[in-house]
Amino acid sequence: MSNDIPVNAPDPKSILKASAIALVVAAIVTITVILPAEFGSDPLGTGEALGLTVLSKDANPFEEQLEVHRTDFVEFELGAFQSVEYKYLMDLEAAMVFSWVADGEVYYDMHAEPAGFDEEYAESFEQGNNTRQMGSFHAPFSGIHGWFWENRSLDTVTVRLYTSGFYVSSTVFRDGGTFDRQLDSIVD
């Protein structure tokens, strides 16, 4: 490779020395830094000393929730081209699981509005046309989180929603009006 310009060729001894140093440096870095930081193995205790072991700790599958646990079941009858919006008040990081089932196809839009902003700041997570959906939801911010359903057929469709989660209350938006629903905790 060094054909273009003659280079003072290093002697074999320093080549071997350099290669050995390269290998040793790489081995030291691997053992003292990479193993504790990436793989949770700390053979020399250097990871603990440098505070690197925190990097390889896996996310805890357990996640504590601060709100009380509530469940909810609600049913909406949608006539031809009628729509409804149903949303839960949830804090940041609050979770819920849900299923909704309709006896005919509906348009749905799962979305949320951050607290303290206008309605135009809604963020949509999932839209489509379907007769059912199951899922889990993890609130990305504090605010109201839920669904918009619209019956785009001429038949009447009933949507049933089952949820369980760490929300505070819920609100129905229908026919230009809103009303809140009080939900009971499951533990008392």
Residues that bind another protein (CB under 8 A): 1-2, 4-5, 7-12, 14-19, 21-23, 25-27, 29-30, 34-35, 38-41
Q: Measured from the CB of residue 126, what is the shortest distance to another protein in angstroms? A: 14
Q: Measured from the CB of residue 46, what is the shortest distance to another protein in angstroms? A: 14
Rounded CA separation 91/167 (Å): 7
Nearest CB to another protein, comparing residues 45 and 79: 45
Nearest CB to another protein, comparing residues 35 and 144: 35
Q: Beta-carbon neighbour count of residue 145 at 10 Å?
A: 26
- Per DSSP, the residues of 55-114 read GGPPPPS-----SPPEEEEEEEEE-TT-EEEEEEEE-TT-EEEEEEEEEEEEEEEEEEEE
Q: Measured from the CB of residue 142, what is the shortest distance to another protein in angstroms? A: 25
Nearest CB to another protein, comparing residues 23 and 97: 23
Rounded CA separation 87/172 (Å): 7
Q: Measured from the CB of residue 133, what is the shortest distance to another protein in angstroms? A: 18
